[in-house]
Amino acid sequence: MLAELRPEPRDTISSVCFSPNHAKNVLAASSWDNMLRVYDVDNSELISQHEFQAAPLDCCFLSDFNRVAVGGLTGGIHVFDVHGAKISQVGRHDAPVRFVRFHRPTNLIYSGGWDNTIRAWDLRSPREVGMGAIHGKVYAMDLNDDKLVVCDSMKRTYIYDIRNGANMGNAEYRE
């Protein structure tokens, strides 16, 4: 089955992610037309959208399908409330943000930017609770319950143990 999502973005999609709520097929899509769109895939309809000042490069759902973390060319880390269509800024990098990931066990957002840093953001404050400097721009990033893995433009891979929060001072890295 092929589903068409309308309205479709006017430019290339930079990131897609499904909601962790498996009862509904909700998809967030960031795109180079400066938009974040959230779709109900089963019904092929737009639920909500937000236009940014510059392109969002990555997005991820938080604990449910009601909020989406977004990072992009402005350097800001934003949280978009899907149903209220409200946006709030959690923090910012000194250059574009390439990746955002939500860590459910600690309720932190991790972001990787082209300012050669990885940062952790506490949504309850909201404030930065951790920062790690790396050798190059963040080119790839993902996490699970225990580890944050970051790859940079200098061909290095960093592995952080994030079980105890946002301490990013001690990373294993491999060239």
Domain chopping of the chain, boundaries: 13-137
Higher pLDDT among residues 167 and 155, named by residue? 155
DSSP assigned state of 50 = E
Token pair, residue 110, equals 């991790």
Residues constituting the chain: 175
Q: Is the pLDDT of residue 128 over 70?
A: yes
Are the beta carbons of 109 and 123 closer than 8 angstroms?
yes
- For residue 7, whether the previous peptide bond is cis, meaning omega lies within 30 degrees of 0, is yes
**Residue range 13-137, CATH number:** 2.130.10.10
pLDDT for residue 91: 94
What is the average pLDDT across 69-79?
98
pLDDT for residue 166: 65
Q: Is the pLDDT of residue 68 over 80?
A: yes
Q: What is the mean pLDDT of the chain?
A: 90
Q: Is the pLDDT of residue 89 over 60?
A: yes
Q: Is the pLDDT of residue 47 over 80?
A: yes
pLDDT class of 115 with cuts at 50, 70, 90: very high
**Percent of the chain, pLDDT > 90?**
71
